[in-house]
């Protein structure tokens, strides 16, 4: 009975259709699409060979003819009652539910096509319905594919539909095409609405256009153009004839032509389309301009692409420049499509390594108007990308060519420079703009923005008043006025301004204007800057009560405040709270943590945080890498400094270009390692030649180097030059406590107290508050004179600092380093009394520090430990050590920063600052061994090793001497042979090697440590005395090795002198056997050679405890000494050789000293 039913259905369908189509306009739209294709590229059954996007020469094979997918009849038809579906082989008819099952039979994510009803939204009608109106039946097909199963159809539709919701980044071309072909082969295209099918085509075209800027070859792009033609021809048979359909088809036609490489036809069609569209259809034109811009750049050149853009400037220019009103006014689809074009233009501009070169190369080709437009486009793109230094280069080139960029573009550049903290450049540019006397709002608000971020309250208020006088004030302007005082830490003024703006009209009414999160952030910043943590918490609570949740900016301010205090646990708590609130830490958050670890001289943990940030998807910026580099500088890890600098220099990323911050950090390394002044001055001069504008910190480091070298006249001249430059506000060179303290300390070191006093008085006359470092330098200078009079002067000065109310001690505030403010002023005198072996005076000063509100620190407890060691008070030493150990354990523990990472093997050094106990441990070992407490030394050493602490060269040398005192002489030689000498050789190899193109800035292994990995250095470059000694040593040893001006090979290698210096001017803790150790071991050899055995020092041993021995005992002792000596020569030959070399050098030295001059 099926045959009659099939005949009835067939007859009814045939009778109800025409063969010509029902809408002439629809046919015209289709003709536009087909005619717009180049005849040579129109696919036919004989010439279509579509290639895959990946792989060489892997053809898919002869594709089916396009006519098979734009049929003259539908693939299947339903009767008016939706009872059956006609199969094209005309031999079988299936009931409709078998092909389009009921909802209950479908998979949960498959939506059946809507029933045949009248709908006002034509674009959502099914393709089968449209096909029935626009297609005719064709003859039988002899070779039809097998009928798909219900499951296959459901899967095909679901797979195809999944691509409709993917973002452009997730839309894979090959996978999408496979989903389409599967749906096509299963003849299930009727289940897709026209709207969804168009969306699929648009995504496919957009994804293919993205490849224009990628690595896909032109032939592959052409193949994709052919594929998209197939879809457009199929879609063209189902248009409604509406105006929007016509524009859509023409737009897609042009975009496909760009993929096929037919630029001329696409350009012509694009202009016709643009001329015929109104504002509402503009969103269909911008993608065509975008495709043409990319295609011309790919097929011809970047210059040709911009020639096209400039030629069409009347249509698109208003949507490209930030100063344009169209940029700000565009909304909806127009805004989105214009933004895509703008992004393509900016991305293309950013591919130019030297942006200003585009204007140089086209100076004789483009007229000034065109060069001006391209110049402003470059400035906009570079500012939005966070590259204002490159934008400055473009601006300067425009000025050289006498092209006047708009004031709006220049002011935008000023704001971008402020965001990059390039205040010297921003000030100079703004000053030149101010000279033209502009009077529009953007100028005044930018001036307010500029000076507010510098904390220049006076100038910020001037521009605020200009805005107020003109009635142009806005909420951001008021916040900038608050921000100016917040930067200076003037919390009282910020609170006053806040209440002034948000004053309540009556006690029972809320203010008319509600504060925003920006105002609360400014309040929190003001209290954080002045270290008022109670006030900071109070305003955070007020913000929460006002229903405002903290954002990433608020958390950044909080993180910075805790970093200033060095509170790792608090930082961990804030980071956890950010993650819990769904606000992942950003690059600024991680940079704050790395800066904290740098101040703690912990480069291993800093690198671990860097590694974690990268793992979490953070893209490190230049500031983050500069902070990592500074961590190595602070720790004296010179190899790490060089590697980080080389990584930045070799990086192709525009965002990692070398800047004044990076160069200043490198200059700091030169100063701390003890580079001679002529080396530092050469580097400084080469920076100026490289157009790097020095900062105040850069000048201060140059002055520091002159002071360390003893060139005080030069240092004074440099300061005077800096002082003159600081008179011009544009220079952003401000005389501060840092540079004045450096100069004062230099004069104190050479004994010129009169000049030092003048510097101190100048500091006070300028209204600059001295810091604890300033006072510490004064106290140290007086204490080092070692006279009772100078010591009393130092005591009196300290008393004047302390014997005032706490509110009158503004210098007592958290410091960024490990030392507290009170430690800075108490430790110099404690050290003096330690050297005078007066532990009771050290105890007095230590207690005075506690009474003044201070807390025990590693530094002060180490001084106290040394004071007890020098007088042999082992009981007091045993009492102090546990306090040092617990404090170091708490201070060094940074494992909380990594607690939520996946479990795995991690180095102990990542969990704590491993070298923190090196100095106190050497003191403790010496005290215990002198007292005969040898077992305690073994226990302490083992305990520290288990907890992940490492030992430096000093520790191992002290341990060798302690073993001699314990009578374990063979083990002492073993330490020299198997620990110190191998580390010395390894350090030499590391120092000599240098990879100028490292693939990573990290110096420490991320996996478990190898056995030959040397411990971290202990930074000592912060001591002025040690730096001065290092300068003298480097000057004697270097000769012409550091003269880079005459070295053609390394003339532009700013880090080469540092690479040389850290080999010839090693740090005090470099791996080598100390002279004291070698002398003791030399005495051991002499002792054994004389037939005597080294006896251990015992607790409470008396010097006169001599025992009588008979001849047999004496002979046994001689044999034992000989055996020990024989084993030493046999097992530790290298150590013995080193000792003999030392003895020969020592004898020559003594001979020279004893000879008459």
Q: DSSP for 322-374?
A: TTSHHHHH--HHHHHHHHHHHHHHHHHHHT-SSTHHHHHHTTTTS-HHHHHHH
If phi over 0 gives left and psi between -120 and 50 gives alpha, with beta otherwise, what is residue 751? left
Per-residue pLDDT tens over the stretch 437-483: 888 899 999 999 999 999 999 999 999 999 999 888 888 898 999 99
Cβ distance 637 to 1016 under 8 Å? yes
* Segments in 947-979 forming alpha helices (H): 953-965, 969-975
Measure the CA–CA gap between 954 and 973, rounded to whole angstroms.
15
Q: Quick one: average pLDDT of 881-894?
A: 86
Task: Give the torsion through C-alpha atoms of 907, 913, 914, 918, to 10 deg.
Answer: 180
Least confident of 269-273, 417-421, 953-957, 1058-1062: 1058-1062
Q: CA of 953: how far to CAs of 44, 636, 958, 960, 1014, in Å?
A: 80, 15, 9, 11, 10
Measure the CA–CA gap between 300 and 288, rounded to whole angstroms.
17
199, pLDDT greater than 50: yes
74, pLDDT greater than 60: no
If phi over 0 gives left and psi between -120 and 50 gives alpha, with beta otherwise, what is residue 493? alpha
- Reading the block at residue 1067, the tokens are 């740090």
What are the DSSP calls for 127-144, one per residue?
Answer: HHHHHHHH----PPPSSP
Q: Quick one: average pLDDT of 616-631?
A: 92
114, pLDDT greater than 70: no
- Residues in the chain, total: 1157
Least confident of 802-816, 946-960, 1016-1030, 1058-1072: 1016-1030
* Segments in 852-933 forming alpha helices (H): 858-870, 874-892, 908-911, 918-930
Q: What is the CA radius of gyration of the chain?
A: 40
If phi over 0 gives left and psi between -120 and 50 gives alpha, with beta otherwise, what is residue 1010? beta
Q: CA of 1046: how far to CAs of 666, 755, 1034, in Å?
A: 21, 37, 19
The predicted pLDDT at position 355 comes to: 87
CA 516 distance to own-chain centroid: 29
1105, pLDDT greater than 60: no
- Residues paired with 78 in a beta bridge: 85
Least confident of 236-250, 328-342, 696-710: 236-250
What are the DSSP calls for 790-818, one per residue?
Answer: HHHHHHHHHHHHHSS-GGG-TT-S--SSS
User: Band of the pLDDT at 1005, cuts 50, 70, 90?
Assistant: low
* Segments in 651-695 forming alpha helices (H): 660-673, 677-689
User: Band of the pLDDT at 221, cuts 50, 70, 90?
Assistant: confident
Which comes out higher in pLDDT, residue 1091 or 916? 1091
Per-residue pLDDT tens over the stretch 283-322: 788 888 888 888 888 888 888 988 888 888 888 887 888 7
Least confident of 21-35, 103-117, 331-345, 846-860: 103-117
Share of the chain above pLDDT 70, in %: 76
Taking the alpha carbons at both ends of the chain, their separation in whole angstroms is: 133
1063, pLDDT greater than 70: yes
Highest mean pLDDT among 137-146, 178-187, 952-961: 952-961
- The predicted model scores a pTM of 0.76
40, pLDDT greater than 50: no
Q: Quick one: average pLDDT of 810-822?
A: 72
Measure the CA–CA gap between 272 and 444, rounded to whole angstroms.
44
Q: Which of 172, 147, 149 is nearest to 162 (CA)?
A: 172
Which comes out higher in pLDDT, residue 144 or 148? 148
Q: CA of 257: how far to CAs of 200, 224, 232, in Å?
A: 18, 11, 12
127, pLDDT greater than 90: no
Per-residue pLDDT tens over the stretch 388-440: 988 999 999 999 999 888 899 999 999 999 998 888 889 989 998 988 888 88
- Residues paired with 893 in a beta bridge: 912
- Reading the block at residue 681, the tokens are 């001055």
Per-residue pLDDT tens over the stretch 84-95: 333 333 333 333
| CB-based contacts of 557, cutoff 8 Å, min separation 6 | 521, 524, 525, 528
Q: Which of 428, 373, 432 is nearest to 406 (CA)?
A: 373
DSSP letter assigned to residue 515: P
Which comes out higher in pLDDT, residue 211 or 571? 571
Q: Quick one: average pLDDT of 848-875?
A: 93
Per-residue pLDDT tens over the stretch 316-354: 887 888 776 555 555 667 778 788 888 888 888 888 888
What are the DSSP calls for 169-205, one per residue?
Answer: TT--HHHHHHHHHHHHHTT-GGGSBHHHHHHHHHHHH
Q: Which of 709, 671, 747 is nearest to 1019 (CA)?
A: 671
């Amino acid at each position: 009975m099926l045959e009659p039913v099939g005949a009835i259905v067939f007859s009814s369908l045939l009778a109800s259709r025409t063969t010509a189509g029902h809408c002439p306009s629809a046919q015209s739209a289709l003709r536009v699409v087909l005619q717009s294709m180049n005849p040579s590229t129109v696919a036919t059954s004989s010439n279509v060979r579509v290639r895959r996007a990946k792989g060489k020469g892997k053809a898919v094979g002869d594709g089916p003819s396009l006519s098979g997918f734009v049929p003259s009849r539908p693939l299947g038809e339903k009767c008016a009652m939706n009872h059956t579906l006609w199969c094209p082989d005309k031999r079988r008819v299936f009931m409709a539910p078998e092909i389009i099952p009921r909802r209950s039979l479908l998979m949960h994510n498959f939506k059946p096509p809507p029933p045949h009803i009248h709908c006002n939204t034509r674009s959502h009608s099914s393709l089968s319905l449209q096909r029935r109106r626009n297609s005719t039946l064709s003859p039988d097909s002899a070779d039809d594919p097998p009928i798909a199963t219900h499951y296959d159809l459901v899967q095909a539709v679901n797979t195809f539909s999944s691509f409709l919701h993917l973002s452009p980044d997730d839309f894979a071309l090959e996978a999408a095409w496979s989903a389409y072909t599967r749906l096509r082969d299963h003849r299930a295209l009727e289940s897709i609405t026209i709207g969804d099918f168009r969306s699929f085509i648009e995504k496919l075209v957009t994804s293919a256009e993205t490849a224009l800027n990628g690595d896909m070859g032109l032939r592959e792009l052409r193949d994709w153009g052919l594929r998209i033609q197939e879809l457009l021809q199929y879609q063209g048979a189902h248009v409604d004839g509406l105006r929007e359909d016509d524009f859509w088809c023409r737009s897609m036609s042009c975009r496909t032509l760009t993929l096929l490489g037919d630029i001329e036809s696409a350009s012509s069609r694009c202009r016709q389309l643009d001329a015929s569209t109104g504002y509402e259809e503009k969103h269909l034109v911008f993608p065509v301009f975008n495709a043409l811009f990319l295609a011309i750049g790919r097929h011809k050149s970047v210059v040709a692409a911009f020639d096209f853009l400039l030629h069409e400037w009347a249509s698109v220019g208003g949507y490209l420049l930030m100063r344009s009103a169209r940029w700000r006014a565009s909304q909806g689809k127009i805004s989105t499509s214009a933004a895509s074009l703008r992004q393509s233009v900016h991305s293309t501009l950013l591919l130019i390594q030297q942006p200003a070169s585009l204007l140089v190369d086209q100076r004789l080709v483009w007229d000034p108007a065109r060069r001006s437009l391209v110049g402003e486009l470059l400035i906009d793109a570079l500012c939005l990308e966070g590259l204002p230094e490159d934008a400055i280069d473009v601006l300067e080139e425009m000025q050289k060519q006498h092209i006047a960029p708009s004031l709006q573009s220049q002011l935008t550049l000023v704001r971008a420079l402020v965001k990059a903290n390039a205040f010297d450049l921003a000030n100079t540019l703004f000053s030149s703009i101010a000279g033209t006397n502009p009077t529009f709002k953007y100028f005044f608000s930018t001036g307010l923005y500029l000076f507010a971020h510098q904390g220049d309250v006076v100038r910020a208020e001037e521009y605020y008043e200009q805005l107020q006088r003109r009635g142009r004030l806005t909420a951001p302007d008021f916040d900038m006025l608050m921000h100016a005082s917040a930067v200076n830490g003037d919390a009282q003024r910020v609170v006053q301004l806040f209440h002034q703006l948000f004053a309540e009209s009556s006690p029972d009414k809320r203010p008319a204007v509600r504060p925003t999160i920006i105002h609360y952030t400014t309040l929190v910043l003001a209290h954080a800057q002045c270290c008022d943590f109670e006030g900071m918490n109070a305003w955070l609570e007020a913000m929460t009560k006002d229903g405002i949740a903290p954002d990433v900016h608020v958390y950044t301010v909080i993180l910075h405040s805790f970093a200033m205090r060095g509170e790792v646990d608090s930082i961990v708590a804030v980071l956890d709270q950010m993650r819990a609130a769904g606000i992942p830490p950003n690059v600024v958050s991680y940079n704050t943590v790395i800066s904290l670890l740098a101040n703690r001289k912990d480069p291993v943990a800093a690198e671990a945080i860097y590694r974690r940030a990268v793992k979490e998807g953070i893209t490190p910026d230049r500031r983050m890498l500069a902070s990592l580099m500074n961590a190595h500088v602070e720790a004296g890890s010179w190899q790490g400094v060089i590697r980080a600098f080389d990584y930045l220099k070799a990086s192709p990323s525009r965002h990692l270009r070398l800047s004044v911050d990076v160069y200043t950090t490198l200059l700091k390394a030169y100063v701390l390692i003890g580079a001679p002044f002529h080396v530092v001055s050469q580097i400084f001069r080469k920076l100026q030649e490289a157009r790097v504008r020095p900062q105040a910190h850069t000048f201060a480091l140059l002055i520091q180097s002159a002071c360390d070298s003893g060139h005080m006249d030069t240092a004074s001249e440099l300061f005077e030059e800096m002082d003159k430059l600081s008179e011009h506000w544009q220079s952003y060179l401000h005389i501060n406590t840092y540079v004045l303290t450096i100069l004062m300390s230099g004069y104190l070191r050479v004994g010129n107290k009169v000049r030092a006093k003048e510097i101190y008085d100048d500091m006070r006359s300028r209204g600059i508050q001295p810091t604890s470092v300033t006072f510490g330098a004064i106290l140290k200078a007086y204490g080092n004179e070692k006279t009772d009079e100078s010591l009393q002067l130092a005591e009196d000065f300290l008393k004047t600092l302390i014997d005032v109310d706490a509110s009158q001690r503004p210098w007592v505030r958290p410091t960024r380093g490990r030392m507290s403010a009170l430690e800075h002023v108490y430790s110099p005198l404690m050290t003096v009394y330690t050297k005078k072996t007066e532990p009771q005076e050290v105890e007095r000063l230590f207690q005075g520090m506690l009474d003044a509100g201070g807390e025990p620190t590693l530094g002060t407890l180490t001084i106290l430990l040394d004071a007890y060691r020098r007088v042999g008070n082992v009981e007091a030493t045993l009492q102090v050590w546990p306090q040092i150990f617990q404090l170091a354990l708490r201070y060094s523990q940074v494992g909380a920063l990594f607690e939520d990472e996946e479990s795995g093997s991690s180095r102990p050094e990542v969990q704590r600052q491993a070298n923190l106990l090196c100095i106190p441990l050497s003191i403790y070992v010496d005290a215990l061994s002198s007292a005969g407490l040898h077992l305690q030394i073994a226990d302490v050493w083992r305990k520290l090793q288990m907890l992940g602490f490492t030992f430096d060269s000093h520790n191992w040398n002290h341990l060798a001497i302690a073993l001699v005192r314990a009578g374990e002489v063979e083990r002492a030689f073993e330490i020299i042979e198997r620990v110190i000498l191998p580390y010395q050789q390894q350090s030499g190899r590391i120092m000599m090697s240098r990879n100028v193109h490292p693939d990573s800035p990290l110096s420490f292994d991320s996996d478990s440590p190898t056995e030959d990995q040397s411990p971290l250095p202990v930074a000592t470059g912060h001591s002025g005395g040690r730096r001065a000694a290092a300068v003298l040593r480097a000057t004697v040893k270097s000769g012409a090795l550091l003269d880079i001006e005459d070295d053609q090979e390394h003339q532009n290698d700013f880090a080469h002198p540092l690479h040389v210096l850290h080999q010839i001017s090693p740090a005090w803790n470099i791996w080598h056997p100390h002279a004291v150790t070698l002398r003791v071991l030399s005495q051991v050899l002499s002792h054994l050679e004389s037939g005597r055995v080294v006896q251990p020092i015992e607790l409470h041993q008396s010097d006169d405890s001599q025992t009588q021995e008979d001849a047999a005992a004496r002979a046994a002792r001689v044999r034992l000494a000989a055996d020990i000596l024989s084993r030493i020569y046999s097992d530790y030959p290298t150590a013995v050789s080193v000792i003999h070399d030392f003895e020969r050098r020592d004898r020559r030295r003594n001979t020279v000293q004893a000879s008459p001059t």
